[in-house]
């Protein structure tokens, strides 16, 4: 009975939140049953729209919580001191407290997108309104997004593992170990890549402007391989990462910041859509803002263009919090800079970019004994810090790549994950006296399900 109640609650949550697939008996709107039984292209387009909207759900938490864990930012959120204290390990404990404060964004939200993708796959496979090629277009796109989304709860949970098979709310698959879950995600991405290869020259659905340049099966397959390269890096399959990169949209000849920024994006808008969740007016008086961690400014190379491109000084409104002091000096930690990447509250946010692909390429080459320096120099020269002049051994190259990833991929959900996968969490400074977490505790709903 306990599991039945939980399952019904899960179904209710999905029905309430996934407005694109509400279970209603309205002849003018699709019900879940009608969509999965024999969907029209109009109904399938609603699922595509919903999947694009849903897949943005991880962005806020990946930046704010992962960024706090990795000391890329301080979350000065006056509305609730737990954002600052718990995320820095000054209050709650992420590793032992189920349903750790403010962690749903990189767990629940991605699973809602996965549910949307699963419905879309079922609907496309069951529709008589689609040709075989058209159906593969829907399933290839959905599996690509599904694989991407599942990486976020896995990166949050790490050695706790996650469930990958969640197609049946009342009969979910087992919790897989980190390695097994990562392999399952890679398999999903491979299935999506195979489907896209059989999807013809064009999709029979439309995507938002966030996928401009990537809105055909061939181009979406390149996105799929970019995500697969990230997953291969996490799996320490460096040869696999290079193979995936070769089929991705990676551009080794990038010559400008615009070239580095090429890739699919999450789009935002004004009501009834949602705003860019990371946008804050520059230097505005506020008690709620993400502040650049001081070490990002202190460790930067002279003349690094990323500092001026990403960080804006709060000249008139530096920010402090009484609970945040430097344990070495006792002085308040002052927030002097904020994120300046977004021009407006409707600016798009990258999903995965060429800059990340170049850095994956460099790391894989370094591990495989290839030419990592060329890709490193591409990044360094675009941002104005000149060629790499350090040692050429693998450890030195990895140190350099990690440093470049910290600045190039700042607040994109990577640094905490990078330091953990390289066994360097102890190198993250805790000047405020906090804790560097390894992972977030398994959620109470998961524990209760297995015990019920």
Structure confidence by residue, pLDDT tens digits, 263-290: 999 999 999 999 999 999 999 999 999 9
Q: Which of 220-229 are b and which e, b meaning 16 or more Cβ less than 10 Å from the residue's Cβ?
A: bbbbbbbbbb
Domain hosting 305: range is 288-341
Higher pLDDT, 20 or 439: 439
Is residue 291 exposed (0-12), middle (13-18) or buried (19+ Cβ within 10 Å)? buried
Higher pLDDT, 410 or 78: 410
Distance CA(448)–CA(303), nearest Å, equals: 53
The residues facing 175 across adjacent strands are 163
Tell me the per-residue pLDDT of 105-130, one tens digit each, with 9 for 90 and over.
999 999 999 999 999 999 999 999 99
Residue 31 has pLDDT above 90, yes or no: no
Residue 239 has pLDDT above 80, yes or no: yes
State residue 30's pLDDT score: 55
pLDDT, average across residues 195-213:
98
pLDDT, average across residues 353-382:
98
Distance CA(158)–CA(87), nearest Å, equals: 17
pLDDT, average across residues 363-368:
98
Distance CA(211)–CA(216), nearest Å, equals: 9
Tell me the per-residue pLDDT of 400-447, one tens digit each, with 9 for 90 and over.
999 999 999 999 999 999 999 999 999 999 999 999 999 999 999 898
State residue 415's pLDDT score: 98
**Per-residue confidence band for 36, with pLDDT thresholds at 50, 70 and 90:** confident
**Per-residue confidence band for 32, with pLDDT thresholds at 50, 70 and 90:** confident
State residue 400's pLDDT score: 98
DSSP conformational letter for 442: P
State residue 92's pLDDT score: 86
State residue 170's pLDDT score: 86
Torsion sign over Cα 410, 411, 414, 415:
positive
Length of the chain: 452
pLDDT, average across residues 362-386:
98
State residue 1's pLDDT score: 32
Beta strands in 201-273 (DSSP E): 265-266
State residue 11's pLDDT score: 33
- The answer to whether residue 278 is domain-embedded is no
Higher pLDDT, 301 or 4: 301
Average pLDDT score over the chain: 92
State residue 22's pLDDT score: 40
- The answer to whether residue 241 is domain-embedded is no
State residue 452's pLDDT score: 65
Give the other-Cβ count within 10 Å of 374's Cβ. 15
For residue 272, whether the previous peptide bond is cis, meaning omega lies within 30 degrees of 0, is: yes
Spatial CA neighbour of 189 closest among 127, 251, 235: 235
Is residue 451 exposed (0-12), middle (13-18) or buried (19+ Cβ within 10 Å)? exposed
- The answer to whether residue 302 is domain-embedded is yes
Residue 391 has pLDDT above 90, yes or no: yes
pTM confidence score: 0.93
Distance CA(185)–CA(177), nearest Å, equals: 12
Percent of the chain with pLDDT over 70: 93
- Give how many domains the chain has, as a whole number: 1
- The answer to whether residue 445 is domain-embedded is no
Provide the 3-class DSSP secondary structure of residue 313: strand
Residue 28 has pLDDT above 60, yes or no: no
- The answer to whether residue 237 is domain-embedded is no
Provide the 3-class DSSP secondary structure of residue 359: helix
The DSSP-derived string for 9-26 is HHHHHHHHH-GGG-----
- The answer to whether residue 295 is domain-embedded is yes
- The answer to whether residue 448 is domain-embedded is no
**Per-residue confidence band for 37, with pLDDT thresholds at 50, 70 and 90:** confident
Q: Residue ranges of the alpha helices (H) in 317-412? A: 354-368, 373-382, 394-408
Torsion sign over Cα 378, 341, 113, 416:
positive
- The answer to whether residue 332 is domain-embedded is yes
Residue 450 has pLDDT above 90, yes or no: no
Of 21-25, 257-261, 413-417, the poorest mean pLDDT is in 21-25
Give the other-Cβ count within 10 Å of 386's Cβ. 11
Residue 248 has pLDDT above 70, yes or no: yes
State residue 69's pLDDT score: 98
Residue 8 has pLDDT above 70, yes or no: no
Distance CA(409)–CA(357), nearest Å, equals: 11
Residue 15 has pLDDT above 70, yes or no: no
Supply 278's token pair: 């990371």
Longest dimension (CA), the chain: 70
Distance CA(360)–CA(449), nearest Å, equals: 37
């Amino acid at each position: 009975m306990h599991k039945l109640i939980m399952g019904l609650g899960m179904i209710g949550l999905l029905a309430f939140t996934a407005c694109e697939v509400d279970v209603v008996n309205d002849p003018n709107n699709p019900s879940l049953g009608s969509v999965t039984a024999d969907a029209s292209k109009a109904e399938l387009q609603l699922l595509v729209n919903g999947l694009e909207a849903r897949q943005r759900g991880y962005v806020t938490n990946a930046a704010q919580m992962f960024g706090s864990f990795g000391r890329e930012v301080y979350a000065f959120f006056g509305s609730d001191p737990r954002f600052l204290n718990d995320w820095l390990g000054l209050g709650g404990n992420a590793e032992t407290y189920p349903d750790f404060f403010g962690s749903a964004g990189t767990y629940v939200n991605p699973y809602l997108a996965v549910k949307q993708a699963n419905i879309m796959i079922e609907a496309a496979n069951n529709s008589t309104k689609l040709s075989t090629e058209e159906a593969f277009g829907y399933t290839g796109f959905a599996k690509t997004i599904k694989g991407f989304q599942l990486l976020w709860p896995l990166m949050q949970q790490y050695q706790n593992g996650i469930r990958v098979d969640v197609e049946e709310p009342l009969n979910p698959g087992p919790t897989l170990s980190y390695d097994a879950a990562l392999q399952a995600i890679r398999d999903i991405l491979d299935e999506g890549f195979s489907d896209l290869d059989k999807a013809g020259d064009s999709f029979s659905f439309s995507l938002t402007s966030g996928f401009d340049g990537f809105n055909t099966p061939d181009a979406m397959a390149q996105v799929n391989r970019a995500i697969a390269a990230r997953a291969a890096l996490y799996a320490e399959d460096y040869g696999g990462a290079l193979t995936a990169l070769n089929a991705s949209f990676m551009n080794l000849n990038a010559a400008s910041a615009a070239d580095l920024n090429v890739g699919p994006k999450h789009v935002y808008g004004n009501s009834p859509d949602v705003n860019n969740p990371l946008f804050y007016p520059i230097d505005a008086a506020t008690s709620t803002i993400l502040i650049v961690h001081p070490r990002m400014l202190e460790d930067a190379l002279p003349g690094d263009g990323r500092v001026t491109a990403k960080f804006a000084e709060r000249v008139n409104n530096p920010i402090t919090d009484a609970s945040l002091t430097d344990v070495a000096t006792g002085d308040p930690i002052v927030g002097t800079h904020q994120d300046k990447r977004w021009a407006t509250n409707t600016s798009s946010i990258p999903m995965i970019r060429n800059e990340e692909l170049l850095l994956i390429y460099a790391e894989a080459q370094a591990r495989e004994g290839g030419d990592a320096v060329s890709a490193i120099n591409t990044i360094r020269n675009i941002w104005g810090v000149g060629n790499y002049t350090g040692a050429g051994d693998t450890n030195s190259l990895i140190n350099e790549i990690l440093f470049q990833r910290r600045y190039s991929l700042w607040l994109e959900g990577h640094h905490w994950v990078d330091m953990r996968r390289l066994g360097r969490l102890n190198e993250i400074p805790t000047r405020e006296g906090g804790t560097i977490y390894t992972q977030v505790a398994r959620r109470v709903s998961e524990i209760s399900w297995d015990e019920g």
